[in-house]
Homo-oligomer: A and B are copies of this chain.
Amino acid sequence: MKKLPDKTVERLSQYRRTLLIALSNGKHHIFSHELAAMLHITSVQVRRDIMLIGYSGTLRQGYDVKELTDIIGKIIDSKDGQKVAVIGIGNLGRAIIGYFSGKRTKLSIVAGFDLNPDKIDRVYAGVWCYHFDRMADIIQKENISIAVITVPASEATAVADKLILAGIKGILNFTPRPLNVPSNVYLEEYDIITSLEKLAYFVKKV
């Protein structure tokens, strides 16, 4: 199967999350317009995405929640799951580790890295924190493919270079410093200042 567009994958992940909430509320069938309303998008968009992955519901009942969840899982998840490292064990790094702890997902955080001696060789919500010097070593030994960068902006570029050399294939950059990565590395960036500035702009009285 050809790789799906970026935005479709993002929405599939959101559909699954929403379907799981529905399922836990005892809902077994759902219409495209219900999914759409919960995610603030159009039902045309929902139907288009779900057709794209070769699934369809029935006119009378809509989608089977369990079936659709499983199909999305088969597309998004790797069979054996994927391992994630968190670089920078400050408040944000710890929040991310804590957030994943105990969640049933195909993604597992298996290592943390920091430079602060007080943090190294300690365990955070079940995740061991190593010194930066062990990055390449642990990433290769543990077969880690994804890294989350939560270090100060000034260190972001050096950390990313180190990660790429160590064989990391996906980077989620939480620093405000835009990164450059080779074309075989997938990059996601999130900066809270941008989100808040957008809010501020739309909230602003004209």
Residues of A within 8 A of B (CB): 1, 3-4, 6, 9-10, 13-14, 17-18, 21, 38-40, 75-78, 82, 84, 90-92, 94-96, 98-99, 103, 105-107, 145-146, 148, 150, 169-172, 176-178, 186-188, 190-206
**Residue pair B84, A90 in contact (C-beta under 8 Å):** no
**Residue pair B193, A76 in contact (C-beta under 8 Å):** no
**CA of A201 to CA of B11, assembled, Å:** 12
**Residue pair B192, A145 in contact (C-beta under 8 Å):** no
**CA of A186 to CA of B197, assembled, Å:** 12
Closest chain B CB from A5 CB (angstroms): 11
Contacts of A191 in B (CB 8 A): 14, 17
Contacts of A94 in B (CB 8 A): 91
Known: A40-B178, A146-B203, A186-B202. A197 touches B76 (CB 8 A): yes
**Residue pair A3, B203 in contact (C-beta under 8 Å):** no
**CA of A170 to CA of B205, assembled, Å:** 12
20 residue pairs of the A-B complex, CB under 8 angstroms, read A38-B178, A40-B178, A76-B201, A78-B200, A78-B205, A82-B200, A84-B196, A90-B98, A91-B98, A92-B92, A96-B192, A106-B200, A107-B197, A145-B200, A146-B203, A148-B196, A172-B199, A186-B202, A188-B195, A190-B195
